[in-house]
Amino acid sequence: MIGTGARAAIPPLSGMELPGVFVLRTVPDGDAIRQFIEDRAVKNATVLGGGYIGLEMAEALVERGITVTVLELLPTVLSTYDPGMSEIVARELADKGVTVRTETRIEGFEGGAGDSVGYVVASGQRLPSEMIIVSAGVRPNTALAESGGLELGDSGAIRVDARQITSAPSVLAAGDCSEATHMVTGRPTWIPLGTTANKQGRIAGENAVGGSRKFAGVAGTNVTKIFGLEAAQTGLSTAAAEKAGFVVDSARIRARSRSHAYPGGGPITVKIIFEKETGRLLGAQIIGAEGAAKRIDTVATAIYGRMTVSDLAVIDMSYAPPFSPVWDPVLVAAGQAVKKLGR
Ligand SMILES: Cc1cc2nc3c(=O)[nH]c(=O)nc-3n(C[C@H](O)[C@H](O)[C@H](O)COP(=O)(O)OP(=O)(O)OC[C@H]3O[C@@H](n4cnc5c(N)ncnc54)[C@H](O)[C@@H]3O)c2cc1C
């Protein structure tokens, strides 16, 4: 049974070996980062990469009183979200004092005074920085599998069937090193998450001792907290759905997380992505001050059940003022989607 996980993708940048340049994959990586901050009394840091780990690091550094710049190659942070949704997170970062520079290509790092890193060289500029967190994505650890001649999928992760069996019938693989079937497209995908690794690991373990259980696949449901925001997504984004060949429509609404009459709560934005012809739910993204994380699970359930937006719009969801408006934001978004369907 192979469960070799994933590793941090390390871009070929000059100066990666300088003290003060870190990746974050393991708990010892985290310990080393904290030690460096304490030993050097770090005042400013740069995070390379605006994915969820990079942004969670940005928040953690700000909480320690450090001035943070996030550099991102793509036009937005959290680029797996639809345009218009990731900007909500970008505004929150700006509000909390984080400088975000998008469409910025990092060329390398240079030493400063003393032995450690002092500058990031990005898009032709030298930006001072006492510390760098390289958060440029992950790659599956497949060296062991490849040395045994196992097949990899197009994603570069180990190809497995629903029973987690690899191309060699007596070898199973699970977790970040392996692919999974996407519930929406029905095709192999690689979305490395702890949720998936745990489920696949159990199934592989059971099957390794004679069982015959099948993994249901993934919808890519994930959530992150960026300062005062929860950002959650499930299924396909608009771009991913179009790439998979769907003709797509979407509905986006802004509501409140609690009843207007009840103190607290805040704005919440829900976007639902569906197949234009049939209304089949393809994905959803929810970003808000509270209640995004667990609302996404309702949509993930509906995706698993192959529901349409019309089905989602009539689900008997709970209501009491501390938890939601009488029309839950997910119901409101589904209702808008139904109107667009025109039936
Ligand atoms: C900072 C961070 C935050 C995250 N937050 C979340 C989150 O909030 N939610 C979520 O769902 N997921 C999250 N993840 C992802 C989650 O941690 C992974 O999906 C999960 O750990 C994968 O489990 P795994 O067992 O497949 O791999 P791993 O946990 O990576 O374990 C694989 C192990 O195999 C070892 N190994 C590799 N090669 C060999 C070899 N040849 N011989 C022996 N041992 C080997 C590795 O050293 C490692 O210990 C996060 C990841 C990171 C880095």
Question: Per-residue DSSP letters for 119-139?
Answer: EEEETTEEEE-S-EEE---EE
d(CA 24, CA 6): 12
Residue having the nearest C-alpha atom to atom 11 of ligand 1: 194
Q: Tokens 């974050």 — which residue? A: 24
pTM of structure: 0.95
d(CA 145, CA 5): 11
CA of 24 to the centre of ligand 1 (A): 11
Residue 333 pLDDT grade (very low, low, confident, very high; cuts 50, 70, 90): very high
Residue 299 is predicted with a pLDDT of: 98
Buried/exposed code over 18-49 (b: 16+ C-beta within 10 A; e: otherwise): bebbbbbeeeeeeeebeebbeeeebeebbbbb
d(CA 6, CA 157): 9
d(CA 114, CA 18): 11
CA of 59 to the centre of ligand 1 (A): 22
Which pair of structure tokens corresponds to residue 93? Answer: 């970062």
Collapsing DSSP to helix, strand or coil, 195 comes out as helix
Task: State the DSSP code for 82.
Answer: P
At 189-242, the pLDDT tens digits run: 999 999 999 999 999 999 999 999 999 999 999 999 999 999 999 999 999 999
In this structure, the number of other CB atoms found within 10 A of the CB of residue 143 comes to: 11
67 ligand 1 Cβ < 6 A = no
| pLDDT above 90 for 254 | yes
Residue having the nearest C-alpha atom to atom 53 of ligand 1: 25
176 ligand 1 Cβ < 6 A = yes
How much is the average pLDDT of 248-257? 97
pLDDT above 90 covers a percentage of the chain that reads 95
Residue 311 pLDDT grade (very low, low, confident, very high; cuts 50, 70, 90): very high
Residue 115 is predicted with a pLDDT of: 87
Residue having the nearest C-alpha atom to atom 20 of ligand 1: 194
pLDDT above 70 covers a percentage of the chain that reads 100
Residue 314 pLDDT grade (very low, low, confident, very high; cuts 50, 70, 90): very high
Residue having the nearest C-alpha atom to atom 37 of ligand 1: 4
Residue having the nearest C-alpha atom to atom 33 of ligand 1: 4
d(CA 301, CA 295): 10
Do 296 and 302 contact (CB within 8 A), yes or no?
no
CA of 89 to the centre of ligand 1 (A): 26
d(CA 292, CA 92): 15
d(CA 135, CA 11): 10
Report strand pairing: 132-134 vs 138-140. Answer: unpaired
CA of 5 to the centre of ligand 1 (A): 5
In 39-158, where do the E strands start and end?
Answer: 44-48, 67-71, 99-101, 106-111, 117-122, 125-128, 132-134, 138-140
Neighbouring residues of 312: CB distance < 8 A, sequence distance ≥ 6: 272, 281, 299, 302, 330, 331, 334, 337
Tell which one of 141, 144, 221, 296 to mutate to probe ligand 1, the residue whose CB is within 8 A of the most ligand atoms.
141
CA of 6 to the centre of ligand 1 (A): 6
At 114-147, the pLDDT tens digits run: 889 999 999 888 999 999 999 999 999 999 999 9
Report CA-CA distances (Å) from 250 to 144, 207, 285, 292: 42, 40, 11, 18
Residue 123 is predicted with a pLDDT of: 83
Mean pLDDT over the full length of the chain: 96
Residue 342 is predicted with a pLDDT of: 82
In this structure, the number of other CB atoms found within 10 A of the CB of residue 275 comes to: 18
| pLDDT above 90 for 343 | no
How much is the average pLDDT of 7-32? 94
Residue 227 is predicted with a pLDDT of: 96
How much is the average pLDDT of 304-318? 97
195 ligand 1 Cβ < 6 A = yes
How much is the average pLDDT of 93-112? 95
7 ligand 1 Cβ < 6 A = no
Residue 124 is predicted with a pLDDT of: 85
Neighbouring residues of 50: CB distance < 8 A, sequence distance ≥ 6: 70, 71, 72, 74, 76, 77, 78, 79, 100, 102
d(CA 94, CA 102): 13
Which pair of structure tokens corresponds to residue 165? Answer: 């069996």
Which pair of structure tokens corresponds to residue 283? Answer: 């994905």
CA of 270 to the centre of ligand 1 (A): 30
How much is the average pLDDT of 100-109? 94
At 21-77, the pLDDT tens digits run: 999 999 999 999 999 999 999 999 999 999 999 999 999 999 999 999 999 999 999
CA of 34 to the centre of ligand 1 (A): 20
Residue 158 pLDDT grade (very low, low, confident, very high; cuts 50, 70, 90): very high
